[in-house]
Structure 1
Amino acid sequence: MVIAEAALAALPHTDRPADALPDLLAHAGDDRARVAMYAAGRAAAHTRPSLLAPLLAARTAPGTGKVTSRKEVVRLAAELLPRAEAAALLADAYGKPDQHVDVRAACVTAGTPLLGDVRMWEVAEHAAGGERALRVAVLRAHPTELDPALRPRYARLIQDLCRTGDDILAALAHTALVPWLPWAPHAAAALVEAVTDLDRRGRWRSAADALVNASLTVPDTNRALIRALSLLATGETADDAGAERDRPARRRIGHLARTLSLRTGPNNRQVAAVLAEAGRTLATQRDLMPDAVALLARSLDLAADPDPLHTGLVELAALHAGRPALAARTAATVGRRVVGYRGAEIGDPDALLLVVARLAATGDPAEGLLAAELTVACGLRTGWTGPWRTQLRMLRQHPCDDVRDVAYAEATAEE
């Protein structure tokens, strides 16, 4: 057995490897298929297409080899034959009566680069309405495999699969849709539908994650995210602290907001713009203010010039009127951003000192908390240089007790 398999593996390593291909393919259905088909790949690469095509075609029908062998034949045909011959072979293999679904799926996957041929489009469109394994194969395609002119059409296939009744398949389709959106921005509507359909609970998370990913990476799709947030924010529901459901729209908003927050990065203007717009959208609803300010706090460009940074912080503070606990959490979030960033990503310490002084001078509690947390963070980063120690002393005289507590809780030197 071992010697026979070693002999099979050695057959294509002769001066005329193509001559071994018929013998190797003859083992496609027996116990030596694994070794034989691996060796057949090398032999096929040295075989003229005019001879290769009929040899491979003869091994695609049910009963001519194991399923794994027929899948390998399909792959070899797509890789080694001229495009027209490959498309013809794959389309014929796909359409054979009683063909195993895995072989059909292999035809779909291997045939993606051949979609310029109408026969492969017919295969892909049939598969998109077929068994789950076939539809999953449709979802495996990537835009880089297709000619740009064909990508919008294929994106519509993926969009349609997002609306399937199969929740598991829909979740896969949501993820698969994102790279196709540059050629079909309107297709993001399928993600919005899934996120905002409160009657369906099995697919919204995958759609929400895909929507966030798209809004941060694909131009012109952030509007879809904002639309989803708007619809959820203004939608009414009778489920409030129920045994089975509790404010489903709010739960979905919270997931979107948390997922967005996790995608923040230093000085990424595109991400910051999306977070800011999402935050402003949610800020129109007072009960959604915690999510809104969390997004706005993470959208701030801490390396900006003093005037725009100060304006952003004042606007953020204004959203906390009557909400001291929320103001403390937001201020702590901003402070942690400074602590976590490298020096070049938080701007000039002197500029931040100017901003902090202006915030502290108003006496406003929310502005004071922002000033205090920024002072503590910057003081730690700079090793409590003189200007930051002076600012800390001033904050310890702030009219708001909460601000003074933050300032007193930090020590510039230990006993």
Structure 2
Amino acid sequence: MTSSTPPPLDTPLTCEVLKPLLDQLSDGLTLCDHDDGVLYANHVALRLLGSNVIGHRLESQLIDDQPGVKIAIHTGMHLDMRELPFGLGMRAYLFRDQGSRISADQALARLRGLVEAWPDAVLFCDANGLEISDANRAARQLLEDDHHRLTRENLSVIFCDKDADRLQKFIRQGLLSRRGAVRREMLLRNDVPVEATLIRLDEHQGQLTLMAMLRDRSHYLGKLRAVEHKLAKAQSMISRDSLTGLCNRHGFDKALEEFIIAGASGREFALMIGDIDHFKQINDSHGHLVGDEALHKIGQCIRAQLRDADLVARYGGEEFCILVVCGAAMLSEIAERIRHAVGDTPLALDNGTLLPVTLSLGACMFEPGIDGETLFEHADDALYAAKESGRNRVVMFQSP
């Protein structure tokens, strides 16, 4: 290995947590297997020992100078060397040149200080009993533990009841049988949502320790909900007609696609197109405000005759498109009910007179294999026939 940048280690612990911490030490540190093969060296160790130390046995890179002092073969530097009680199933060695001596205890204290200052919550616990042995400042703040009561508590009690019940199961299935890490979205007992990462640490004596890293997601989820709300509002505005409150053409086109997909799977439905009779005369004789009232009132009248699974849209001008879930036997009855409801709801003018309004409708059942454009053309042809035959009537499309 000739690169001066240390490669990632095999364990998720060093990849995700220890490596960025150890690289901040001002002293050289190597992690070795039980045969003293170098698995990892931080940046300072690479400078002191040489960039090709990784992958080789540590003793082959050093020669004795005096007790406790080694000479690095590749750099010629005189180094203090100490083995640290590091654990994790590895052997750890601390190196510094003789001009910058620091005790092993100080080095461990510095590492501990880095964990204490880590922005995410970090807790350590016994893998079998899940008894918490230590927690950093972020963990105490996240769990509102001002008096260090977390120590000796069971890890499961920091989570809500549901996630506490799941905890032991996914630890057993995901970590105790193999090395690795488990990541889950969980909820703390104080209702804070977190991303929980559980990492298995192997001790020399065969005891297993777990490290839990908790990242507060409440701020992120709050922002996400705000964005989702804005998107939903924007989508609603895009799909709604401002005058009638019904779906507009864009909303109808999307709904028709969904109806056709369901229709291909066997759900029966029909398309009706309704057009207000003599709408131009209403606008010309009584003004656009009355015309707008007619559009709004008729749109609500049609909506009142439909069920939740149905949909009505103002497609454009005085034209309404209606998607209704029904079979062919019911289609004519539903269409006539809509036509009569509109005819029985005249507009009240300012002078007290009632202005009758009627609706012509063309209807067509969906048949598997036809697309939305064809279905619309068939219903529109039926509407044209209703207009031509006198208006205020329903015409059903008949296949040639």
The answer to whether the superposition gives a TM-score over 0.5 is no
Flag the structure with larger Rg: 2
Which structure has more strand as a fraction of its residues? Answer: 2
Bigger relative contact order (CA 8 A; separation at least 6): 2
Which structure has more helix as a fraction of its residues? Answer: 1
TM-score normalised by L of structure 1: 0.30
TM-score normalised by L of structure 2: 0.31
